[in-house]
Amino acid sequence: MGRMLVALTAALVLAAPAGAATVTVQIKSGGFSPRTLTVNHGDRVTWKNVDKTGHQVVADDGSFASPILHRNQSWSHTLSTAGAFRFHDALHPRLTGKVTVKGPPPSVALALSVPIVLWGSPVTISGTISNGAVNQSVELTQQPYGQAAPSQLAVVMTGAGGTFSYAVTPNLYTTYAARWGNVTSGSVVAQVAPKMSLLPGGKGYMKATVSSPVSLWHKHVTLQRLSPFGQWVTVANLVLGERNGRIFRPAAYLPKGTSRIRVFLSVNQAGIGLLASHSGMQTVTRKR
């Protein structure tokens, strides 16, 4: 029975978050020592029985309860909800105490509506401040790829529930963060892919175009054909003109019959700060 109780006690000890403190309350014949205490959000309180008789710590609201603690046994509980919690000894109800838990430190959360966008498309930065207050100033910063340090993007005001949002159109891989008072959020990253299209024209010609923040003149895209096994196979390299486009006859590179094709731009050809990209799929037929 003693071994089972020790195992149960160990199982009920909750690990404290990194950096959290542990405060010990002794259980004596005359009561808890200290009887009242204040801890921070996420701190752990350990009750240790230094009496000769058994004791059991129970929150008045039922939010926590220890097993019966015999002499020199301890039980710990991590307090992650702000408020005042009264507790008592279930075996000796006259013994009572109170622990006050301070609220969590200020924080600001940040997120993106999507992690990857096509060039020219907006992304929404949104977040929340921890106290939920309205009309609070939040500074948004941005750091495009290659920029030495973040710069201010905008200052927004919080709305209901402490929320805020801002729409932006990134040109390159860009890191965003939010600052509220002395608190800075974690960073979020928007990745950008060039926008590509493959459009049919007259007399069997097609036009491949790439919309990008940089010139891709003399760069190349690859014409790819979908194999019967579901793999994209490169059949030709197409050099782009000064307007990031190329007109070509796909039939010159394809076998007879029906083919599903696309054009693909690799990371190396897209340039620094941009992702690989591809056009939508087109179906073409070569009759001879």
Q: Is the distance from CB of 108 to CB of 138 less than 8 angstroms?
A: yes
What domains, with CATH codes, occur in the chain?
2-101 (2.60.40.420), 108-191 (2.60.40.10), 194-286 (2.60.40.10)
Nearest to 163 by CA among 139, 201, 135, 193: 135
Q: Going by C-beta distance under 8 Å and a sequence separation of 6 or more, which residues neighbour residue 219? A: 239, 240, 265, 269, 271
Residue-by-residue pLDDT tens, the chain, 288 positions: 333 333 333 333 333 344 579 999 999 999 999 999 999 989 999 999 999 999 999 999 999 999 999 999 999 999 988 899 999 999 999 999 999 999 888 999 999 999 999 999 999 999 999 989 999 999 999 999 999 999 999 999 999 999 999 999 999 999 999 999 999 999 999 999 999 999 998 899 999 999 999 999 999 999 999 999 999 999 999 999 999 999 999 999 999 999 999 999 999 999 999 999 999 999 999 887
Question: Omega before 34 cis (within 30°)?
Answer: yes
Q: Is the distance from CB of 192 to CB of 275 less than 8 angstroms?
A: yes
Give the burial class of 236: count Cβ atoms within 10 A of its Cβ; 0-12 exposed, 13-18 middle, 19 or more buried: middle
Distance of CA 181 to the CA centre of its chain: 22
Stated pTM of the model: 0.71
> How long a stretch of residues is the chain?
288
Beta bridge partners of 152: 141
